[in-house]
Chain A
Amino acid sequence: MNWYGIKAIYIHEMERFRRTLFQSLASPIITTSLYFVVFGSAIGSRITEIDGINYGSYIVPGMIMLTILTQSISNASFAFYFPRFTNTIYEILAAPLSSFEIVLGFVGAAASKSLIIGCVIILTANFFVDVRIDHPLLMMFFLILTSITFALFGFIIGMYAEGFEGLQIIPILIITPLVFLGGSFYSINMLPEFWQKISLLNPVLYLISGFRYSFYEVSDVSLLTSTLTILTILIGCIIFITYTFSKGYRIKD
């Protein structure tokens, strides 16, 4: 293993995060705070409890997932697309690094950034609502796994994007709607039966549900199904990246 190479990519990416620390943290904190003000205090105060949980507290796991998913994708996609755009990727391709090591460096950094932001949001949420974490280890398990999985997904977007606009299409058109319709702000039990069944086709529902279980021991689907879903997406992303790298497609001519 080229540990120095992995470390170089990781530190290089984290350095970019440090340089833009204010933008990196301010944006998710302000957005989350607004959600808590609007949904937690203004509207939430008029909504009854869901599964015995205060509405403001109920939406915390969904809020964190929303941020983790979008941040992991945008961090990883930008991190890998940027050297492609500036042509500095030549150096990574010419270095004695395997595709696994390249992915480890980029995805590790993107997932770390998301984790930091996720933890900051948990702290922010505490200023607005009561946050209880019944299973901290399980919460960390979901947080880490989701960060890595969606950083891998972002890496794929970074490999395929033809321009900066391309980096935004999938997060805006697919991920954000899936998160909003995946029970971030409600339980699917509140939906008519038909829409409940449709919601079960949304993989993000399983992530949010499993994550919420780690907080309040309430979920729309079983913990096992949630775990298997995230692992399936993770393995799918790994297989896809391995195949693409082995062919050099989108990276090497």
Chain B
Amino acid sequence: MKNILEINNVTKFYKNSVKALENVNLNIKEGEIFALLGPNGAGKSTLINSICGIVNFNTGTIKINNMDIVKNYRTTRKITGIVPQELNLESFETVWNNVNYSRGLFGKKPNHNYIEKLLKQLSLWDKKDNKIKELSGGMKRRVLIAKALSHQPKLLFLDEPTASVDVELRKDMWDVVKKLNKDGVTIILTTHYIEEAEELSDRVAVINDGKIILVDEKDKLIKKLGEKTIKIELFESVEKINGNLSKYNFTLDQTNKIISHTYNLNSNTTDITELLNDVKKDGYKIKDINTEQSSLEEIFIKLIQENNNELVRN
């Protein structure tokens, strides 16, 4: 699949000399949902604002569809849409005017049929004559999405799309994002909700302190960096783990009946068959076996902590 977005060695300093982005390199494939994860202030919004032309970056190049976004800004911006993190809308304008205004800004001829279809898809049609100030937060978020889609972009940036929205609306938003992607829109979303990235994305990048510290497919990332814990529930309580099992670093829970062992999915150090044989050899009777895999959130925290420790060391 070809790259729709190529970011090469992009660096951005703010006026107060704060380095917001440092040598960022990233390629986004056409048709994928890409999640950019990072803590607050990591540089997520600066990166997408740089791509969309909202802030100027200092060095490096950004290409959309193999075209430089500075030299060919007219062509590249026509196929790009952005949903900002904040609910930045003109309160006294109607939904209809707001969305049509956005389409015009992006150089598109008025198309009331398309805007009608779009508002219906986003459940905004019955609110089309309402002023923005009369809408709920969730509705406003939908208006922002409608505005970003008004000119039919191929590449859509969602900056924290579900920040401060309730759980129900978050699920609705996810459905909207999935539908858009199904319709052929490449989506890049920034989030610090790992659950969101886990639910939606094909690939994930982690950014910290302005640097991309990891890019990988979500599933591979979980597999590569994820840990798995096997929990074995025994019929009888155990005082101390010894014998053949002592080599596995088992831990005991408070009831002394569940023994747990954590291992890395990617390493071959743990042979589960052998482990279970050792349990049997030591005379334990197994009541139940359960395994738990580390979530993207745990991986993310681990990565950020490692990166922060490295920064402190340097």
Contact = CB atoms under 8 A, between A and B. Distances in A.
Classify the interface of chain A: helix, strand, loop or mixed.
helix
Nearest to A253: B55
Contacts of A12: 93, 97, 101
Contacts of B104: 4-5, 7-8, 11
A9 B100 CA distance: 11
Contacts of A8: 100-101, 103-105
B161 to A, nearest CB: 15
Interface string A1-20: 01111011101100100010
B102 A91 contact: yes
B56 interface: yes
Given A2-B107, A252-B54, A253-B15, 13 more contacts: A4-B105, A4-B109, A5-B104, A7-B104, A87-B84, A88-B88, A90-B52, A90-B82, A91-B88, A94-B54, A95-B105, A96-B78, A252-B56
A96 B109 contact: no
B80 interface: yes
A235 interface: no
A2 B84 contact: no
Interface string A24-40: 00000000000000000
Interface size class on chain B is 35 or more
A219 to B, nearest CB: 43
B101 A96 contact: no
Nearest to B102: A91
A253 B92 CA distance: 27
Contact of A86 (B75, B90, B101, B103): B90
Contacts of B75: 96
B88 A96 contact: no
Contact of A96 (B55, B74, B93, B110): B74
Contacts of A191: none
B89 A88 contact: yes
Interface in A116-169: none
A73 B231 CA distance: 73
A87 B84 CA distance: 10
Contacts of A83: 90
Interface in B1-27: 14-15
A96 B90 contact: no
B77 interface: yes
A20 to B, nearest CB: 10
B105 A5 contact: yes
A83 B110 CA distance: 22
A8 B102 CA distance: 8
Nearest to B108: A4
Contact of A92 (B84, B105, B147): B105
Contacts of B102: 91
B88 A252 contact: no
B253 interface: no
Interface string B39-62: 000000000010011111000000
A248 B50 CA distance: 13
A95 B148 CA distance: 10
A43 interface: no
Nearest to A6: B104
